[in-house]
Amino acid sequence: MYSKFFNISPDKQERILNAALKEFAQKGYEKASTNEIVKEAEISKGLLFHYFKNKKELFLFLYDYFVEIIMDEFYSKIDWNERDLFIRFRDLIVLEFELMKKYPDIFNFFMAAYHEESADVKIELEKRNKEILVSSYQKLFTDIDTSKFKQGIDINRAINIIIWTMEGFSNEQQKKGKFRTVDQINMEEILSEIDHYLNLLKTSFYV
Amino acid sequence: MYSKFFNISPDKQERILNAALKEFAQKGYEKASTNEIVKEAEISKGLLFHYFKNKKELFLFLYDYFVEIIMDEFYSKIDWNERDLFIRFRDLIVLEFELMKKYPDIFNFFMAAYHEESADVKIELEKRNKEILVSSYQKLFTDIDTSKFKQGIDINRAINIIIWTMEGFSNEQQKKGKFRTVDQINMEEILSEIDHYLNLLKTSFYV
Amino acid sequence: MYSKFFNISPDKQERILNAALKEFAQKGYEKASTNEIVKEAEISKGLLFHYFKNKKELFLFLYDYFVEIIMDEFYSKIDWNERDLFIRFRDLIVLEFELMKKYPDIFNFFMAAYHEESADVKIELEKRNKEILVSSYQKLFTDIDTSKFKQGIDINRAINIIIWTMEGFSNEQQKKGKFRTVDQINMEEILSEIDHYLNLLKTSFYV
Amino acid sequence: MYSKFFNISPDKQERILNAALKEFAQKGYEKASTNEIVKEAEISKGLLFHYFKNKKELFLFLYDYFVEIIMDEFYSKIDWNERDLFIRFRDLIVLEFELMKKYPDIFNFFMAAYHEESADVKIELEKRNKEILVSSYQKLFTDIDTSKFKQGIDINRAINIIIWTMEGFSNEQQKKGKFRTVDQINMEEILSEIDHYLNLLKTSFYV
DNA sequence: TATGAATGAGAATTCATTCAT
DNA sequence: GATGAATGAATTCTCATTCAT
């Protein structure tokens, strides 16, 4: 599967990958044009369909390919020894920011994929349980130290509240246009604001 | 502006409005077909473009039109005398559920608009500060009773945490497919879960 | 159905009909190019699909349309009072030759349709029991005078033999290239040969 | 000519031959895909075009190759001592049925070739006077015993009538779908009906 | 011999928008 | 106001054939 593609020169692989990534990230699945992709990648029309039998397969290939790359790097860098929920969370956010800075196109692509409405692709995307980073925090808090929580607090719901707070904050930043594209993030400022929220929640949930 | 449209028979206005609403709600901006809209509304192709100079204007008109309708009803039904944050919030959610049940097509349209990626329309949508209900809770908590909060708690951030928790919960429901379309909501069950979260937060933030 | 098409100017109707007829007749369903059709008919690409939702519908429309025209003319010109099998048959053949001379393109189209292998269209063609002239002689001999036949002769099978002899003869002419296209028929010569065959069979089957 | 092809291993020859035969038989010349052929034959794209300079040559090579095989077997099995027209004819039909059962793919290919409309190939096919079995009976009745015919009967035309009757009957069976593919023939039933026709003609033509 | 990457014209179809009537 | 015929660029995808390796 896709062995054809992996056998060509790495340079050409990269050109195709990047061209497709950019096009899908910018325009979404439906509006992305295979014509633009081949033009940008400087390959012929037929060649793209020689590697990927149709647009959908190309899209899903890209998705799987980059999910694996990002996830590998992500999981390998997590400090699993840190069992304090809030510290762990903060670490994850910092890590995510770093990855976003390193691979902005990939993250833009993931966001496009996450919001994809096209029936063609949506179902396939949902089948894949490798959910993208943005919405997969839940698994990352299984071995957390629960001894610090106030009695009577439902820890799973508490974790959800923290996650959703972070997501909500992040969405708001996006809406404000604070980081229209991934590369314009003012990390200091944002981290400081995140710490305010994390502290507020820590005060609330910890003894 | 749009005076042409408002001068035709209310029956025809409604047919056009509903046809367009449904089409955009189902397929999103890009994939929505003006052909389908005129067919459903039983008007000619030319007429649609006589009223609205292009697809984008039609979409944005619909948006503004229905935002106003929904907002009017929403604001008029809020009990502004209830100043307890959590009660106010719960009231708002119940109210929103009621409206969703009453105008499911409109809410499906809003959701489609909220997730719209199409560059054409996204920018225009962002310009409008009448943000859609889903994400506009912030303004609704200006006159809240702050005396019940624990000392040292930043109330604005606390409100955001509540809002984002509710949004995150709602998104998760959608992802689970619990309410694929607006009309299949199990209100009892969801309200009960919402109350768990609200109580957890109340315990955390109130004295 | 197809009212759109019938409402345009007869001149344009004819241009489209003829262009499509010629293209399908020459290249068969699959290889016929809608591009060529619109070029020949001097209309835009979109317009063809405005009238006929796809290539298949265009093809089947042509088929039904011309079958009706030819059949109407054919049946209206048959002398139903002539009840002698061989005279009737000869009349029909002469009539068919006349029609082929009058509408050569249509007959070329029918022959293409008759041999059409494309699954897309074959099934639809088979559904239509209006079989094309070439293969529908059977119905034309229901009221024949059977008193002249030798005793013991199965009349239905005898009729089949006559039909198949005529068809076989006709196919052989085509194979020999004697009438590569419909308009080059040497009617005298062919009729004379046909009469030989009919006489041979008449001698065999009649008392 | 084709010496390249005949020098490779018989196993590979056979794979290529069978793959091409099947593809052309199923889809006809135009729609047959060289991609499918090389995939099925497990050879590379380039190799196919190394042996046969293009699709057309491959097709015509197949045709010549299999016509020869079938014809050799056919002619070698005819009982040339049987000089009665009707017995000879019946023998031929039985022989043909046997071959069709033995080599169904080849016969399906012949039928596809016989109906081929593609201009590219049609002309070449017509040039070859090795006509395929189905339509080449004529040569098989040169040494027939003519003494049994009624006086005044043109024997060549009589033979044609028999041939065309058989062909017509066979075509009708196909149209009825009685043998959609070669392997589902109910030989008993068909032979019985054939005998009816042969007897009718025998009674008519013999003294 | 053998490979399979690469080509690029051409296929059918869609669609927002215009404009003469 | 109202019609709907007309446009044509853009879409995804196919395929026989070539050629450097």
Give chain D's largest Cα–Cα span.
Answer: 64
Mean pLDDT for all residues in chain B:
86
Residue D181 has pLDDT above 60, yes or no: no
Tokens linked to B113: 């608009």
Q: Please give the pLDDT value at position C64.
A: 93
What is the number of residues in chain D?
207
pLDDT in tens, D4-28: 889 898 899 999 999 999 999 888 8
Q: Please give the pLDDT value at position A184.
A: 54
**D175 CA → F2 C1’, Å:** 52
CA nearest C29: which of C94, C102, C93, C124? C124
Q: Please give the pLDDT value at position B177.
A: 56
**C164, C197, C204 member nearest D168 (Cβ):** C164
**What total of structural domains would you count in chain D?**
1
What is the number of residues in chain B?
207
Q: Residue D51: which H helix or E strand, with range?
A: helix D45-51
Show the low-confidence residues of chain C (pLDDT under 50): 178-180
- Within 8 A of A175 by CB-CB distance, chain B residues are 126, 135
Average pLDDT over residues B10-16: 92
Full domain range(s) for residue A121:
63-205
Confidence of residue D161 (pLDDT cuts 50, 70, 90): very high
Residue A150 lies in a domain: yes
Residue D171 has pLDDT above 90, yes or no: no
Burial of C104 by CB count in 10 Å (0-12 exposed, 13-18 middle, 19+ buried)? middle
For residues D6 and D141, which has the higher predicted lDDT (pLDDT)?
D6
Q: Which nucleotides of E are covered by protein (CB under 7 A)?
A: 1-20
d(CA D119, CA D109): 18
Q: Please give the pLDDT value at position A54.
A: 92
Confidence of residue D177 (pLDDT cuts 50, 70, 90): low
Contact yes or no, C with D (3+ CB pairs under 8 Å): yes
- Nearest-by-CA chain D residue for C196: D157
Residue A54 lies in a domain: no
CB atoms A28 and B205 under 8 Å = no
Query: What is the nearest nucleotide to D47, using C1' and CA?
Result: E2
CB atoms A115 and B115 under 8 Å = yes
For residues C128 and D148, which has the higher predicted lDDT (pLDDT)?
D148
CB atoms D165 and C169 under 8 Å = no
Sequence-distant (6+) residues with CB within 8 A of D179 are D173, D185
Give chain B's largest Cα–Cα span.
Answer: 64
Q: Please give the pLDDT value at position A101.
A: 87
Helices marked H in A83-186 — which ranges? Answer: 85-102, 104-114, 119-127, 155-175
d(CA A135, CA A171): 12
Q: Please give the pLDDT value at position A136.
A: 65
Q: Identify whether the C-beta of residue C25 lies closer than 8 Å to the C-beta of residue C109.
A: yes
Query: What are φ and ψ of residue D149, in 5° steps?
Result: -75, 145
- From residue C83, alpha-carbon distances to C7, C109, D159 in Å are 43, 32, 28
Residue A148 lies in a domain: yes
CB atoms B163 and A158 under 8 Å = no
CA nearest C63: which of C10, C12, C127? C127
- Nearest-by-CA chain D residue for C204: D204
**Which residues pair with residue B43 across a beta bridge?**
none
- The secondary structure of residue D96, as a DSSP letter, is H
CA nearest B97: which of B166, B177, B19, B200? B166
Q: Residue D14: which H helix or E strand, with range?
A: helix D10-31
For residues A128 and B32, which has the higher predicted lDDT (pLDDT)?
B32
Q: Please give the pLDDT value at position C176.
A: 65
Helices marked H in D115-186 — which ranges? Answer: 119-127, 155-176
CB atoms B164 and A160 under 8 Å = no
Q: How far is D205 from chain C (nearest CA, A)?
A: 7
Residue A158 lies in a domain: yes
Instruction: For Cα atoms A27, A29, A33, give the angle at the middle one, nearest 5 degrees.
Output: 65
DSSP string, A163-177: HHHHHHHHHHHHHTT
Q: How far is C50 from chain D (nearest CA, A)?
A: 27
Q: Identify whether the C-beta of residue B79 lies closer than 8 Å to the C-beta of residue B140.
A: no
d(CA B59, CA B54): 9
Residue B8 has pLDDT above 70, yes or no: yes
CA nearest C149: which of C99, C95, C83? C83
CATH number of domain containing B43:
1.10.357.10
CB atoms B168 and A169 under 8 Å = no
Show the low-confidence residues of chain A (pLDDT under 70): 129-138, 175-185
Contact yes or no, A with C (3+ CB pairs under 8 Å): no
- Within 8 A of C155 by CB-CB distance, chain D residues are none
d(CA C106, CA C99): 9
DSSP, collapsed to helix, strand or coil, labels residue A151 as: coil
Tokens linked to D201: 């003609």
pLDDT in tens, B55-102: 999 999 999 999 999 999 999 999 989 999 999 989 998 998 889 889
Q: How far is C69 from chain D (nearest CA, A)?
A: 24
**Which residues pair with residue A206 across a beta bridge?**
A149
Q: Identify whether the C-beta of residue D14 lies closer than 8 Å to the C-beta of residue D62.
A: no
d(CA A18, CA A103): 11
DSSP, collapsed to helix, strand or coil, labels residue A69 as: helix
Mean pLDDT for all residues in chain D:
85
Q: Please give the pLDDT value at position C138.
A: 66
> Which percentage of chain D shows pLDDT scores above 90?
47
Confidence of residue B178 (pLDDT cuts 50, 70, 90): very low
- Within 8 A of A161 by CB-CB distance, chain B residues are 161, 165, 168, 197, 200-201
Residue A144 lies in a domain: yes
Residue A67 lies in a domain: yes
Q: Identify whether the C-beta of residue A131 lies closer than 8 Å to the C-beta of residue A153.
A: no
- Within 8 A of D23 by CB-CB distance, chain C residues are none
d(CA A93, CA D205): 99
pLDDT in tens, D40-97: 999 999 999 999 989 999 999 999 999 999 989 998 999 989 999 999 989 988 898 8
